[in-house]
Chains A and B, each alone.
Chain A
Amino acid sequence: MSGPSREEVLEAVARFLEEDVKPVAKEPALAFRVLVAGSLLRSVALETRDSESREAREVASLRALVAPHPGPPPAARGEGDGLRALLCEKIRARAFSAAELARVRAHVRESLVQELAYTAPRFDTGAKVE
């Protein structure tokens, strides 16, 4: 595809809001909302980066946990949603052995780390927390 990527467009609009609009937004509540809007766009821009390969990795991991059989290449977004729903059902049903549950937890932790990388990049997943 020629031209700017989705990530570049989102970043550009975020920059416009933060650098051009915010300084002239005199009303504090409006200025604050402008910053919130910019922050949201940056988060979505980060989410856009490598989203397909990230989803493919998660789907592959989910399949191994809840549907361990050969299937089509993990591409469709809908498959991830379906597998996540199935994983939730199995957790709710206490369907996993202790060893399986350990693998489920490792998968969920890794998925959360991936999600935090774009929703809360400053959230320190390795922080020492009392």
Chain B
Amino acid sequence: MLALINAQSDNPIRSSGRRCEPREAGPPPRPSPRFAGGGRYDARPLDLDALKGRAAAHLARETGGSVEIVQLAPLTGGACQENVRVTARFGEGELRGGDRTLVLRSDAAESLPGSLDRKAEMAVINAAVEAGVKTPRARWLASGLLRDGSFAYFLDWVDGEAIGRKVVAHPSLEGARAMLVPALARELARIHTVTPTTKPGLFAQAAPRDPAKAATATLRAMAKDLEPRPGLELALAWLEDHAPAPTAVTLVHGDFRTGNFLVSPKGLEAVLDWEFAHWGAPEEDLAWLCVRDWRFGRLDRAAGGIGSRAELYSAYSESSARKVDPGVVRWWEIFGNARWAAGAALQGKRYAKTRDLELLALARRPAEMEFEALRLIEVAEAA
């Protein structure tokens, strides 16, 4: 799935979502938590030898042939889920003929609040694949493969770069960056063709009639668990008072930003990490890509640190036949910052369970997103 997913940065202050990404500032965050209510599974360390046997048996059953697991390598880059690189040798059956590199993606011992489990995520991924989205399809769902009570599935490995600071700045990707924003816009347009009408029952939760109001109400509930933060409170009050009327309700990736797609010198290779997918407003995805934190220091390039906002809106409008209202996207960008601030603040509470220092580092970051949310409110009011 991700060739460089476990590369380690030497600077944790500029680390991000995939544990190792460079950032504008601040200690290392994780992928954005959305809502309260994470789950928990058996948290004992993985027994790779036992996993080899279980994975081989599962793949053999699913593909109807013999399977040998040649290599297993846990990937440290997936901060939310547990990902293992698997090299499997297939004998007879569906995939006979040689070695294949796969990613085994499992529910983590401690799931992030609001994230889908792997069974639900697999359904979303495959709906996206059906819609033509460039993302590796998910196959061979398993229960209890890595941990009791957890779901897991397999993805084909895709080579590419996901580390944000490299995506936005590495010279080898200069050519790719030139065509990346239109490519991302096309993928978003494809994602947003999936609707509650075309895929009823894709999510356990019903689609909201008014995504902005529903999202704000959820964020308000999430903020109740936090120490009082006037910056977040100001942003929330503004969001409640200025919620845009609904335009459409579609599949929303929910974490569509630099760091969650793979890029090679050839261009966009794959969209990843669907665990925060949900029914919502398409503008939410456009806005999240533009959130300051995901520009990796390229503040002048609103679209993920890669290109301009105008280029993104224009390419998206062309691909989706939807008119982009910049004011609505701005509202969702303010919402994204507020949600990210609340999510970061909540991470400190998870430290006691995980003993993960990164969570403490994240819990010290809300001021960055609050500052940006208030700045954007000033921009909105001046418009």
A36 within 8 A of B: yes
**Residues 5-18 of chain B: 1 if any A CB is under 8 Å from the residue's CB, otherwise 0?**
01011111111000
B299 in the interface (beta carbon within 8 A): yes
| Residues in A whose Cβ lies below 8 Å from that of B228 | 81, 84-85, 87-88
The 8 Å CB contact of B367, one of A85, A120, A127, is A120
Chain A residues with CB below 8 A from B236, complex form: 92
Contact B368 A108, beta carbon cutoff 8 Å: no
User: Which residues of chain A from 22 to 75 have a CB within 8 Å of any chain B CB?
Assistant: 28-29, 31-33, 35-40, 43
Tell me if B25 and A91 are in contact (CB < 8 A): no
- B360: interface (CB < 8 Å): yes
Cross-chain contact B374 with A31 (CB below 8 angstroms)? no
Q: Quick check: is A16 within 8 A (CB to CB) of the other chain?
A: no
| Closest A residue by C-beta to B378 | A105
Residues of chain B at interface, number, CB under 8 A: 46
* Residue B96 lies at the interface, judged by CB distance under 8 Å to chain A: no
Give the complex CA separation of A103 and B375 in angstroms: 15
CB distance from B46 to the nearest CB of A (A): 13
Q: Does B105 reach chain A (CB closer than 8 Å)?
A: no
Chain B neighbourhood of A125, CB < 8 A: 371
- Bound-state Cα–Cα, A115 to B232, Å: 14
Does the CB pair B10–A130 fall under 8 Å?
A: no
Q: Are B237 and A32 in contact (CB under 8 A)?
A: no
- In the complex, A39→B230 CA distance in Å? 26
Contact (Cβ within 8 A) A127 B299 = yes
Q: Which of A43, A84, A113, A130 contacts B230 (CB 8 A)?
A: A84
Q: Give chain A residues whose Cβ lies under 8 Å from the Cβ of B24.
A: 122-124
By beta carbon, the residue of chain A nearest B14 is A122
Determine the distance from Cα of A32 to Cα of B10 in the docked complex, in whole angstroms: 7
Q: Which residue of B lies closest to A31 (CB)?
A: B8
A-B contact pairs, 26 of them (CB 8 A): A32-B15, A32-B20, A33-B357, A35-B11, A35-B12, A36-B361, A40-B361, A85-B228, A87-B233, A91-B234, A92-B236, A108-B231, A108-B370, A111-B230, A115-B367, A116-B368, A119-B26, A119-B364, A120-B368, A121-B25, A122-B13, A122-B25, A123-B25, A123-B371, A129-B299, A129-B375
Question: Taking beta carbons and an 8 Å cutoff, which residues of B are in contact with A?
Answer: 6, 8-15, 19-20, 24-28, 76, 227-231, 233-234, 236-237, 292, 299-302, 308-309, 357-358, 360-361, 364-365, 367-368, 370-372, 374-375
Please list the 9 inter-chain residue pairs (A to B) with the smallest Cβ-Cβ separation, ordered nearest first. Answer: A122-B25, A123-B25, A120-B26, A35-B12, A88-B228, A85-B228, A120-B25, A115-B367, A36-B12
